[in-house]
Amino acid sequence: MSDDLRPLVEVVDAARWFDVSAPWLERVLTRKPRTLLRAVDGVTFTIRRGETLALVGESGCGKSTIARLLVGLYPLTRGTMTFDGEPLSRMLEPGGQGMRKRLQMIFQDPYASLNPRWRVGRIIAEPMLAHTKMTVDERALRVDDLLQQVGLHPSDRDRYPHQFSGGQRQRISIARALAVNPEFLVCDEPTSALDVSVQAQVLNIMKDLQRRLGLTYLFISHNLAVVHHVADRVGVMYLGRIVEIASRDELFETPRHPYTRMLLSAIPDIAGDGGARTPVAGEVPNPLDPPPGCTFHPRCPFARDLCRSQAPATVTRGTAQIACHGVAEGWPMDPDTAQASPALAR
């Protein structure tokens, strides 16, 4: 495959399990088995150069774990992740510095991700010091340029993070992420801690930078309005797995998985003419003891016996890939048929 057609990021059957067992002696005395939290369990997706893939889902579904896997903060339990054809595991090996600087991350909380004891100039210059051989003067010029790119003034380099608003701090985080000219940015809910008006400013800066610098984004969010604004494709996660992934327009206009429809139904409809809505039932299961079969079946208004006993395979419909027995088998799935579902009766 040519470089132009090959995905920049490719994730195949990725899994990350955490051992949350009781201490060894307690387990021996009480004969308790080991307990594993399957935060991510069999996730597959690709990201093409220059596009934005968004991951959405309820809190605890594994979105941030995927972000940390991609930048090497967690090792994989199973599966593979490649960047530009090279295994991401090489990033953690000696000599992997060249790959590390091509991937950077923007964290969720701009109040916690910046060192309060450092001036802004030092914060932004730190990646250059670690990954380049730039001189002091070259780093200073680069810091000034980055501050201007994110809508701040070069004189801001001499101030401390506490002297900035939340939106300005997140701009500083973006400038730091761009310091070493990365190709791929992992954005872990970069606007969730900001006011709505400030969110729009930060998102517009990110879209402008993507257009000018040719950046590729993995954008993680639970805000579907934000996702609709920034994403080219959208992946919907539930309990550690992707249940549907499609182009933005197809997913928002023709959601197929019952969970995707439930998420979109939760968006407030001020006009009141949004049509029928899929009922919301139940709570997210305990991830330490996930349900058998399709993990969404306890909340699904269309669940059948097959859903409770067998995990669904992924099928393709249009640009979408969906993991749902109902979609694969062509079951009728409309709100009227959901009222008599055993899932709602429970």
**Is 70 exceeded by the pLDDT of residue 288?**
yes
Who contacts 161 (Cβ-Cβ below 8 Å, separation ≥6)? Answer: 111, 114, 115, 116, 118, 120, 123, 169, 172
Pair of tokens at residue 61 = 């579904």
Pair of tokens at residue 200 = 């729009």
Residue 157 gets which letter from DSSP?
G
Phi-psi region of 42 (alpha: psi -120 to 50; beta: other; left: phi over 0): left
Domain coordinates in residue numbering, the chain: 9-231, 260-346
What's the first-to-final CA gap in the chain, in angstroms? 50
**Is 90 exceeded by the pLDDT of residue 320?**
yes
pLDDT score at 3 = 54
Average pLDDT over every residue of 230-246: 96
Pair of tokens at residue 278 = 């899929």
**Is 70 exceeded by the pLDDT of residue 273?**
no
Q: Is 246 helix (H, G, I), strand (E, B) or coil?
A: strand
3-state secondary structure string across 308-342: HHCCCCEEEECCEEEECHHHHHCCCCCHHHHCCCH
Among 123-137, 183-197, 300-314, where is mean pLDDT lowest? 183-197
**Is 80 exceeded by the pLDDT of residue 268?**
no
Average pLDDT over every residue of 173-194: 92
pLDDT score at 56 = 95
Confidence (pTM): 0.90
pLDDT score at 332 = 87
Average pLDDT over every residue of 125-135: 92
Residue 81 banded pLDDT, cuts 50, 70, 90: very high
pLDDT score at 208 = 94
Mean pLDDT of the chain: 88
Pair of tokens at residue 294 = 């399709």
Higher pLDDT pick, 279 / 68: 68
- Among candidate residues 320, 264, 329, the one with its CA nearest the CA of residue 302: 329
H-helix or E-strand containing 211?
A: helix 196-213
* CB-CB contact of 4 with 214 (8 Å): no
Q: Which residues of 242-273 are buried (b: 16+ CB within 10 A; e: fewer)?
A: bbbbbebebbbeebbbbbbbbbbbeeeeeeee
pLDDT score at 111 = 86
Q: In what order do the strands lie in the sheet with 103-106?
A: 103-106, 184-188, 216-220, 52-56, 233-238, 241-247, 320-323, 314-317
Percent of the chain, pLDDT > 70?
91
Higher pLDDT pick, 176 / 269: 176
pLDDT digits (tens, 9 = 90+) for 134-162: 999 999 999 999 999 999 999 999 999 99
Among 94-103, 179-188, 230-239, where is mean pLDDT lowest? 94-103
**Is 90 exceeded by the pLDDT of residue 236?**
yes
pLDDT score at 340 = 40
**Is 90 exceeded by the pLDDT of residue 339?**
no
pLDDT digits (tens, 9 = 90+) for 200-230: 889 999 999 999 999 999 999 988 989 999 9
pLDDT score at 68 = 93
Please tell me the distance from the alpha carbon of residue 196 to that of residue 20, in angstroms, as a whole number. Answer: 37
CATH superfamily of 9-231: P-loop containing nucleotide triphosphate hydrolases (3.40.50.300)
Phi-psi region of 303 (alpha: psi -120 to 50; beta: other; left: phi over 0): beta
pLDDT digits (tens, 9 = 90+) for 2-52: 455 679 999 999 999 999 998 888 888 888 888 999 999 999 999 999 999
